[in-house]
Structures are given as structure tokens and as C-alpha cells.
Amino acid sequence: MLDTHARKHVQPLVEKTADFLLKRGCTADGVTKTAFVIGVSSGPFIYLDQPVLAVLVLWISGFLDVVDGTMARKTKPSPWGTLLDISFDRLVELGLIIGLAFRFPDSMWALLLLSASIVIAMTVFLTVGALSDKKGMKSFYYQVGLAERTEGFILFTLMIVFSTHLTIFTLLFLAVQVFTIGQRMAEARRLLK
């Protein structure tokens, strides 16, 4: 929801960053890979009890994840770049969840349910994107929902920073994911019938 409705507020900074990196010879795929390496380090930082670093690298990777898409649209977006971007996003999320699970094994069951909900949500999202005739600014149809990447980052941040309440925040994230799955399935029914 925030990705869709608040993007206009951060887009000027994203544009400037994309232009800066393009002028220095960086590529969208290169920034995608950099965002992945930075983001996936959040899991080890959580495990090593470095929550501030974990949150910092998570948000830096998230910002770069937005920048890489803008860079691609300014040059030549490629299906390979889209695949890298989406795959690396999930790997960052899974790395973070694994870091939390190993650091806080009592919450592992809730984190497992959250992981399952992310798989289902992404399956619906990607399948509708592939099957829909509608196209947006991205290289596929982007379904809006309550839980988009920014909401996920906010909830992941709460899970990391307030780890004494990890199970509660994980279950809240799960509820948001389930609601979003319902939203996207309802829209899919309208689009694909």
C-alpha cells in the first residue's frame, strides 16, 4: 500500500540517486546485486545480536531495490533483471527470517508460518502478474495490496528492534499477509475470469 501511494514522496530522491549511479557507469543489475548482498547481511547481524546494523542494512537494501528499478526504466529493463530483483528480494526476506529463527528459536513456529504466507502471497502476486493482460510501470502487472515491500520492512524492523515481542509482531505480519492474499485473490478473480 505504501509502495503504491507514498512512492511519489520519495521518487525525487530515487531519481537523483539513479541518475547519479548511471552517470558513474553503474547498471541496474549491478545495483540489484549490491542491494542483495547488503540486504542478506541482515540475517547474520540479527543472529550476532546487532539489531541496529540489521535494520540499517535492511533499509539501505530496500532503498537500492527501488533505485535499481528506476535505473532499469531509464535504460533498458530486462526480464533477467526483473527475475534477479524479485528473487533477491525473497532471499533477503528469508535470510532475515532465518536469522531471527536461529537467534530466537522460541518464535520459530511463527516465523515458519510467516515464511509460508510470503510464499503464498508471492505465488498469487507473480501468477496474476504473468496471466494478466494489464501492464503497469513495471515489466509485469503489479497488484496493490495492504502488504507491499515497505509494510514488510516496517514489520521486519519491529520484529528486530522489539525482539522480546517477536512472536506477536510475527503473527501481526502473518495476519497482514493473509489479508493481502485475500485482497489479491479477489482482484485475480475479477481480472482472470
pLDDT by residue (tens digit) across 141-178? 667 778 788 899 999 999 999 999 999 999 999 999 99
Q: Dig out the grid coordinates for 6 from the structure.
A: 507514498
DSSP character at residue 6: S
* Percent of the chain's residues with pLDDT above 90: 73
CATH number at residue 53: 1.20.120.1760
- Mean confidence (pLDDT) of the chain: 91
Classify residue 105 as exposed, middle or buried by CB count within 10 Å of its CB (0-12, 13-18, 19+).
exposed
* Percent of the chain's residues with pLDDT above 70: 92
Q: What's residue 126's pLDDT?
A: 86
Looking at the chain, list the stretches that DSSP marks H as alpha helix, in order from N- to C-terminal side: 2-5, 7-23, 28-40, 42-47, 51-74, 79-103, 108-131, 149-161, 166-192
Q: Greater confidence, 16 or 1?
A: 16
Q: What's residue 17's pLDDT?
A: 96
Kindly indicate the confidence band of residue 70, based on its pLDDT and cuts at 50, 70 and 90. very high
User: What pTM was computed for the model?
Assistant: 0.89
Number of domains in the chain: 1
Domain with 27 in it: 2-192
> What span, in angstroms and rounded, lies between the C-alpha atoms of 116 and 86?
17
